[in-house]
Structure 1
Amino acid sequence: MTVAIDAFRGTYLFLSNFYEVAFDVPMLGRVNSSEHAFNALKSSDPQEQQSVLAAATPGEAKQRGRTVTLRSGWEMGGRVQAMQMVLQSKFESDDMRDLLDSTGDAALVEGNTHHDNFWGDCRCGGPRCAVRGTNMLGELLMAERAKDRRVR
């Protein structure tokens, strides 16, 4: 049986896009969280990007990201490419890489109850979430973990 980390809270909060850690992202510079970076990358408008990046919290960055003009191709693979770039940047530092490596071979599943079956797997118990989610965030995290795996 495969061990799974199915909640990005507590010990595993660092896997969440809401984990507050500053890092550099190409095209954006310094960001305060993955949520800030991802939502800023939704737009190609520098003013909209700066508005998202200036948000005081990841939650506020998410809210601001809902109002930006989506860049061309966002829904046709652009959002996955953006998340991949954000995660590569987030886990570039030794400290963050060590945290990600500490998850071993566990399946990483962004379990949630807010009906997000693209980035995660909603466990609300409702009929619309009865089918397992795509868990794209978990898949990208596991791909990042597998890349350049350190020999210990």
Structure 2
Amino acid sequence: MTQITVPTLPVLSEFAARSPEHPWTANEQLAASFSRIHCATGARPQHIPGYQAGRDFHVLAWIAECALKAERTEVIFEGGADGWDQATSHAARDLGIYRVLNAPFNGQHALWKNPNVVRRYADLLDTADHAYAVADPDRNDKKAVVRALMDRNVEMLRWGCQGVLPFNPPEREHEGGTAACLREARKRGCRILPNLYPEWEKYQSGELRVLHEIRNTELSNMAVLDKPIRMAGEDYATLEHYFQAAKTTNPAQRQLIRNAATPAEARRLGRSVTLREDWDTLRLDVMHAGLRKKFAQPRFAAALAATGDALILEGNTWNDEFWGVCKGVGRNHLGRLLMNLRETL
């Protein structure tokens, strides 16, 4: 297994009080610039009934995303813990919201057994706008570790008091870290938003619909179209043909992919083309353009519209974490593009 590198964060106590490098200096600038600064606190996965790590993280993130949109959040503070914290951070990143990750201490990931959770945490740290550790406790001193966890809550509430986004099962109302954080929030007079756990119950009951994968459906890039899509004067039998051909500017390679007998063959050929230098910059726009052409065809437009307001995930088993989700990790860009397109139908 590939070694996971988790960034080491600066610790509050390492800085002289009020120095320009102190993490609070940046936080004060945020407080002066934004009016909708919120924080997140919520249950860990083991306390969420029915939660499956490899399947349900992005459902939590979707619930968080809807709440962040509704509250028009501009800055989010969260502690990076497995479960609701990471889901809120993931959602905020997708929405382009400024993210401050204040971990309780360096090495909190050592508490987690699932390597995919650690990998996701490392990615969220890498992409955070501002990140630091609140304390540096002796990891062998359980009381010191718990105190650091509580200090992390206080730190979040210090800055994100304009709106606390809680996610807590009713049976945890009076126990655990989330309950303690909410008690502290009430003491400080923070604005506590409605508990979002009922949204999870909607998912469990089927009221909140989720498509966990789209392969072998009309939504898949591999679906054979009713008529070829024409892009830049060339016809493509499937969206997969078009996307793979767009990876290169080599005319012979493009033609070879365009003439591929199946979308699977087009994908295979696309893995060995001379990749254009600007591909990483262009690929989202290329996919978006192809999707617009494909879903202009009535049968495919009807299939996308039939998903209603369901969360669409490009769940896969081939480790595609850019376009989809594998083992609970991934940006799900294809699913998001489909949902954005659905809104325009």
- Bin the TM-score by the shorter chain: 0.7 to 0.9
Letter in 1 for 2:229: D
SS at match of 2:338: helix
CA shift in 2, pair 1:25/1:71, >3 Å: farther
2:214 match: 8
1:117 match: 321
Query: What is the percentage of aligned positions where both structures have the same residue?
Result: 37
Q: How far apart, in 1, do the equivalents of 2:299 and 2:252 lie?
A: 32
Alignment of 1:2-151 (within 5 A): 2-10=208-216, 13-21=217-225, 22-75=227-280, 77-123=281-327, 132-147=329-344, 149=345
CA shift in 2, pair 1:49/1:145, >3 Å: same
Gaps of 5+ in 1: 124-130
Gaps of 5+ in 2: 1-201, 203-207
**RMSD across aligned positions (CA):** 1.5
Q: How far apart, in 1, do the equivalents of 2:260 and 2:231 lie?
A: 19
Letter in 2 for 1:5: L
Letter in 2 for 1:137: L
SS at match of 1:60: helix
- 8 Å Cα contact 1:36-1:52 kept in structure 2: yes
1:126 match: none
Using structure 1 for the length normalisation, give the TM-score. 0.84
1:122 Cα deviation (Å)?
Answer: 0.6
1:28 Cα deviation (Å)?
Answer: 4.9
- Of structures 1 and 2, the one scoring higher in RCO (CA 8 A, sep 6+) is 1
- 8 Å Cα contact 2:209-2:311 kept in structure 1: yes
1:86 Cα deviation (Å)?
Answer: 0.8
Q: How far apart, in 2, do the equivalents of 1:60 and 1:17 lie?
A: 13
Letter in 2 for 1:140: L
Q: Moved runs in structure 1, 4+ residues, more than 6 A?
A: none
Letter in 2 for 1:3: R
- 8 Å Cα contact 1:91-1:97 kept in structure 2: yes
- 8 Å Cα contact 1:25-1:86 kept in structure 2: no
Q: How far apart, in 2, do the equivalents of 1:68 and 1:86 lie?
A: 19
CA shift in 2, pair 1:109/1:99, >3 Å: same
1:127 match: none
Moved more, 66-75 or 108-117: 66-75
Rg larger for:
2
- 8 Å Cα contact 1:28-1:37 kept in structure 2: no
1:6 Cα deviation (Å)?
Answer: 1.1
Using structure 2 for the length normalisation, give the TM-score. 0.38
SS at match of 2:300: helix
CA shift in 2, pair 1:9/1:3, >3 Å: same
SS at match of 1:30: strand
